[in-house]
Structure 1
Amino acid sequence: MSVLPNRDRQAERREATRREIVDAAWEIARRDGLAAVTLREVAAMIGMRSPSLYSHFDSKNAIYDAMFGQAWTVFLAQAEQHFANLPEAPREALLAMARHFFDFSVADVARYQLMNQRAIPGFVPSEAAYAPSVEVMALLHQAMGRLGITDPADVDLFLALGGGLLDRQFANDPGGDRWTAQLPRVIDMLADDLDLPGPPLRSRR
């Protein structure tokens, strides 16, 4: 007769409370902006006294840290699946990677800002929270390496071009597609510079 391991119900309740706190912080950030997250506001949202939060997070930045790690963990899981199913044509693969990150980013502006911009003065993610983003970058380098793009500077340029378009999208056409529509042209320009084969992506718009 097999015996199931004893459940640590106290640890389960503690983890559930931490998730509830983080979820409340995201709700505030998405509604009012990342800077609006406060211990008092989070506590009020989940029916807890502010001092009680300190038994789960020792500071507001600790909550941001959990949010940061959660966001990159979600994207890492998506990236692992996405990068495993890229188109074979190099230009199409580059465009697919750019669109995937673009779609993920515009779906949640607050999440994108925390993940990719220094939106919170004084906040630096912990090594543990930062680890999923490092894994994402490793996956990206591997995927681009399979396309023949091995120079780290070329990967940096790919990221800078996508990030620049995202910044313009958020600033000038939130909820629209003005800058999303530029992705094929931008990827074509990068592909031309890198001498990647294939017909221009722009002709398929």
Structure 2
Amino acid sequence: MDRGNTKQEILEASLELFSVQGFEATSISQIAGAVGIRKASLYSHFENKQAILDALVKEVLEQYETHSIFAKANWEKDSDNLPRTPDAAVQMILGQIRYILHDPSISRARKMLVIEQFQNPELAKLQTKQNYSDVLQYFTGLIKCLIRQGVLVEDDPEIMATQFCLPISVWINLCDREPDREPEVMELVGKHIRQFFRLYQPRAQWFEE
């Protein structure tokens, strides 16, 4: 087996195990067994289990920075892609939810962070950053731009962003626990976004629709 491929298989097997039973409960023997190699062979790729976790976090962060809309949006510079209508916002958010739920690495990494946030301070910080701070910052910036452009009425943008995004976070967590409810959640997200726009759009737009 190619050394490079073996290293990646170790990472993938480790992430799968960490996302189900946690870092501490997973042994090097289990990881080696999942890959189909001896423990000695695994140690030729990684010094120890912590080194595997460090490599996983680095890999997940790189993927997050590349693909997550929450990590890279700058509405001041990217106003052409601003979702100015409920339909545009629904399409954008549903696309991100599908990515979060169905990309194997991102889905497993999120589940790992849920388990490890109470045991590993560094992973707790990462969990807060990815699932709260970055998300709230992203939507606060979005709301501010929509207010400036007259799409939404002026109000406290951080509170508005909280009202917009936190129910969606709860529904994503629900899908993690009960995947068969994804169609129901997607419908709820669409209704939620459209109602948000109705509640906060300027009154003049009521008569234009």
Structure with more helix by fraction = 2
Retained in 2: the 8 A contact 1:20–1:46? no
Task: Tell me, yes or no, if the aligned pair for 2:143 and 2:160 is still in contact at 8 Å.
Answer: no
Matched with 1:23 is 12
AA matched with 1:156 = T
Amino acid at match of 2:68: A
Partner of 2:191: 185
Structure 1 counterpart of 2:111:
113
**Aligned residue for 2:91?**
96
The code of the aligned residue for 1:124 comes to P
The alignment's C-alpha RMSD in Å is 4.2
- The question of 1:76 aligning with 2:72 is answered no
Does 2:145 match 1:146?
yes
Contact preservation (8 Å) 2:86, 2:197: yes
Three-state SS of the structure 2 residue aligned to 1:178 is helix
Query: What is the CA–CA distance in structure 2 between the aligned matches of 1:128 and 1:53, rounded to whole Å?
Result: 28
Identity of aligned residues (%): 10
Do the aligned residues in 2 keep the contact of 1:169 with 1:179 (CA within 8 Å)? yes
Note the C-alpha offset of 1:95. 1.9
Answer yes or no: is the 8 Å Cα contact 2:16–2:108 preserved in 1.
no
User: AA paired with 1:122?
Assistant: Q
The alpha-carbon deviation at position 173 of structure 1 amounts to 4.3
- Count of aligned pairs: 181
Tell whether the 8 Å contact from 2:14 to 2:31 is kept in structure 1 after alignment.
yes
Amino acid corresponding to residue 94 of structure 1 in structure 2 = A
> Structure 1 residues 68, 152: closer, same or farther in 2, change over 3 A?
farther
What does residue 202 of structure 1 align with? none
Unaligned runs of 5+ in 2: none
Distance 1:156 1:128, change over 3 A: closer
- Residues 98-125 of structure 1, C-alpha deviations (whole Å, 9 max, x = no match): 213310122044233235xx32240233
AA in 2 matched with 1:111: A
Deviates most, 37-46 or 83-92: 83-92
Aligned pair in 2 of structure 1 residues 50, 92: CA closer, same or farther (>3 Å)?
A: farther
How far is 1:162 from its partner? 0.9
Q: Distance in 2 between matches of 1:41 and 1:72?
A: 25
Map of 2:31 onto structure 1: 42
Which has the larger displacement, 101-110 or 37-46? Answer: 37-46
Shift in Å, 1:183: 1.3
Instruction: Give, in whole Å, the separation in 2 of the partners of 1:113 and 1:178.
Output: 21
TM-score normalised by structure 2 residue count: 0.61
Q: Which runs of 5+ in 1 are unaligned?
A: 1-12, 200-205
CA distance in 1, matches of 2:27, 2:162: 34
Return closer, same or farther for 1:72/1:16 CA change in 2, 3 Å cut-off.
same
TM-score, normalised to structure 1, is 0.62
> What's the offset of the Cα at 1:129?
6.5
